[in-house]
C-alpha cells in the first residue's frame, strides 16, 4: 500500500488561507518578462492585482502551495518580475538546504554520513537548528527534529501495509534525541553529534524559516509591505491600507469552512499545524504525520489543530513553526504555557468524544473572530 498524503485537503486549506487576504481585485496586469530563473525552473507569472500590489503563486517543495503578495511604489513597479524571480530562487536555494526528501540537499548529505567530530554547516541550516533547539528545550523534548528514522519507518510501513512493531519502533528511536546535538556559539556554524548516527528532519521548522527569510528579502528589495505564505506558515509586514490583514483559520474537519479570522493592521506571523494536514493510511486506519518523540507512535487525533500568532514586529517564524508542532504533542495545558513563554497567542482546537472545543490564550480575542462560516 502506498503512502496516502491528504494533498487535496492541504491545498484546500491553503486556498482558504489565501482567499481571506482581503484586497480589491482589479484587472490583472502582467509584469514585464524577466530572465528565466534557472534555479527555480520557471519564469515568474507575477500579476498586478491592485494599484501597486503584485501577487505570484506556485507549488514548491513537492506540492506545497506558496504565495507572495507585495506592495511596490510606482517607480519600482517595473521591478516586480525581477523581485519575484529572486524570491522563487531563494525558496529553491533554501529547499536545497533543508529538504530531507531531496537526496542532494545539505541535510540529506549530513544524514547519510557518520558525524564524527565537529560538522561544518551552512549559516541557514545553523539558524534553523538554533530555532529548533530553543523550542526543543522549552518543550522538554516534545518537539524533536531528530526523528527522520522514525518517519522513514512509518513511510515504509504504509507501503507494506503493516504498522511497525515495538522492536522496530525502539530501533528507530535508538538514535534520536536533539539533546545529542550541540551547536557552536554565536557566529560559528558547527555542530557536534554525540551520537554520529543521528538523522535530522527539519520539516517542522524549515517552512517557517523560509517564510521569514523571504519576507526579509522582499523588504531588502524595496517592498513597502508584503505577505509571504507557505502552506500553513504566513508572515506579513507593513500596512494593507484601509483594511487590516485577514488570515483565515480552516475548520479542522471541514475544508470548506472557516473556523475564524485573524485580523491585524500591521506586522503579523501565523503558524498552523494540524493532524489533518498530511495523513497516511495503513490497513484502512488513518495516522497523523506528527509523532510522539517518546513512544514513536503518531499523535492521536485529540488535538486537531494548533494556530500560533505573533502580533507586531520581531519574532521568529522558524520558532513559531516549531512551536506549533510542539503544542500538538504537549497537549492543551502545557501547550498554552509554551505559548505564554514565547509571548505569542494560541488557538487550539480539540476533538473530545466527538465534540469540537477551542482553547485559547487570554488576549487572542483582540485579534481573532470566530466565524465558522462558508468562505
The alpha carbon of 350 is separated from its chain's Cα centroid by a whole number of angstroms, namely: 20
pLDDT digits (tens, 9 = 90+) for 266-311: 999 999 998 876 788 998 888 888 999 999 999 988 999 999 999 9
Task: Classify burial at 131, counting beta carbons within 10 Å of its beta carbon; exposed 0-12, middle 13-18, buried 19 or more.
Answer: buried
DSSP string spanning 291-352? B-TTT-PBPPTTEEEEEEEEESS---HHHHHHHHHHHHHH-HHHHHHHHHHHT-EEEEEEEE
Cell numbers of 125, please?
541550516
Helix or strand holding residue 220 (H, E): helix 206-220
Maximum distance among all Cα pairs of the chain, rounded to whole angstroms: 64
CATH class of 1-375: alpha beta
Residue extents of the structural domains in the chain: 1-375
pLDDT at 80: 94
What's the pLDDT at 2?
A: 33
The three three-digit cell numbers of residue 32, written as one number: 514585464
Contacts of 14 (CB under 8 A, 6+ apart): 64, 65, 67, 229, 231, 232
Give the integer Cα–Cα distance in Å for 185 and 167: 37
Q: Is 157 helix (H, G, I), strand (E, B) or coil?
A: helix
* Per-residue confidence (pLDDT) for residue 40, from 0 to 100: 44
Q: What is the DSSP letter of 102?
A: S
pLDDT in tens, 308-323: 999 999 999 999 999 9
List phi, psi (to 5°) of 352: -120, 100
- The contacts of residue 320 (CB under 8 Å, 6+ apart) are 208, 233, 269, 270, 271, 308, 310, 342, 344
80-123 pLDDT, tens digit per residue, is 999 999 999 999 999 999 999 999 999 999 999 999 999 999 99
Predicted local distance difference test score (pLDDT) of residue 372: 62
In this structure, what is the dihedral angle of CA atoms 92, 97, 100, 104, given to the nearest 10 degrees? 80
Q: What's the rounded Cα separation, in Å, for the pair 163 and 142?
A: 22
| Global pTM exceeds 0.85 | yes
Amino acid 21: pLDDT = 40
DSSP assignment, residue 58? Answer: E
pLDDT recorded at residue 69? 97
CB-based contact 238:74 (threshold 8 Å): no
Q: Are 223 and 70 in contact (CB under 8 A)?
A: yes
User: CB neighbours of 343 closer than 8 A, spacing ≥ 6?
Assistant: 310
Average pLDDT per block of 10 residues along the chain, 375 residues long: 34 40 35 39 78 94 94 85 96 96 96 95 97 98 97 95 96 97 91 97 97 97 97 96 94 89 97 84 89 93 95 96 97 97 97 93 96 56
Amino acid at each position: 500500500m502506498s503512502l496516502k498524503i491528504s494533498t487535496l485537503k492541504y491545498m484546500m486549506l491553503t486556498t482558504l488561507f489565501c482567499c481571506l487576504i482581503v484586497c480589491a481585485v482589479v484587472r490583472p496586469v502582467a509584469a514585464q518578462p524577466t530572465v528565466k530563473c534557472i534555479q527555480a525552473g520557471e519564469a515568474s507569472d507575477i500579476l498586478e492585482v491592485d494599484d501597486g500590489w503584485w501577487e505570484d503563486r506556485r507549488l514548491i517543495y513537492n506540492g506545497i502551495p506558496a504565495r507572495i503578495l507585495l506592495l511596490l511604489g510606482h517607480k519600482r513597479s517595473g521591478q516586480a518580475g525581477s523581485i519575484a524571480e529572486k524570491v522563487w530562487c531563494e525558496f529553491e536555494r533554501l529547499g536545497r538546504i533543508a529538504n530531507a526528501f531531496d537526496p542532494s540537499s545539505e541535510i540529506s548529505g549530513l544524514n547519510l554520513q557518520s558525524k564524527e567530530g565537529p560538522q561544518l554547516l551552512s549559516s541557514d541550516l545553523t539558524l534553523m537548528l538554533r530555532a529548533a533547539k530553543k523550542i526543543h528545550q522549552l518543550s522538554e523534548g516534545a518537539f524533536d527534529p531528530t526523528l527522520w528514522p522514525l518517519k522513514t519507518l512509518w513511510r515504509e510501513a504504509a507501503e507494506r501495509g503493516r504498522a511497525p512493531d515495538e522492536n522496530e519502533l525502539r530501533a528507530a528511536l535508538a538514535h534520536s534525541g536533539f539533546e545529542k546535538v550541540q551547536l557552536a556559539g554565536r557566529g560559528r556554524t558547527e555542530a557536534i553529534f554525540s551520537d554520529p548516527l543521528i538523522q535530522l528532519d527539519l520539516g517542522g521548522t524549515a517552512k517557517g524559516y523560509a517564510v521569514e527569510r523571504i519576507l526579509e528579502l522582499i523588504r531588502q528589495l524595496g517592498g513597502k509591505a508584503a505577505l509571504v505564505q507557505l502552506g500553513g506558515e504566513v508572515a506579513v509586514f507593513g500596512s494593507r491600507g484601509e483594511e487590516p490583514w485577514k488570515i483565515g483559520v480552516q475548520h479542522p474537519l471541514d475544508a470548506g469552512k472557516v473556523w475564524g479570522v485573524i485580523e491585524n493592521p500591521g506586522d503579523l506571523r501565523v503558524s498552523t499545524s494540524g493532524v489533518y494536514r498530511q495523513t497516511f493510511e495503513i490497513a484502512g486506519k488513518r495516522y497523523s504525520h506528527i509523532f510522539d518523540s517518546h513512544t514513536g507512535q503518531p499523535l492521536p487525533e485529540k488535538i486537531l489543530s494548533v494556530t500560533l500568532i505573533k502580533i507586531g514586529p520581531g519574532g521568529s517564524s522558524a520558532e513559531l513553526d516549531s512551536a506549533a508542532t510542539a503544542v500538538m504533542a504537549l497537549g492543551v495545558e502545557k501547550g498554552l504555557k509554551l505559548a505564554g513563554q514565547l509571548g505569542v497567542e494560541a488557538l487550539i482546537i480539540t476533538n473530545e468524544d466527538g465534540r469540537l472545543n477551542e482553547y485559547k490564550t487570554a488576549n487572542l480575542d483582540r485579534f481573532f473572530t470566530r466565524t465558522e462560516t462558508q468562505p
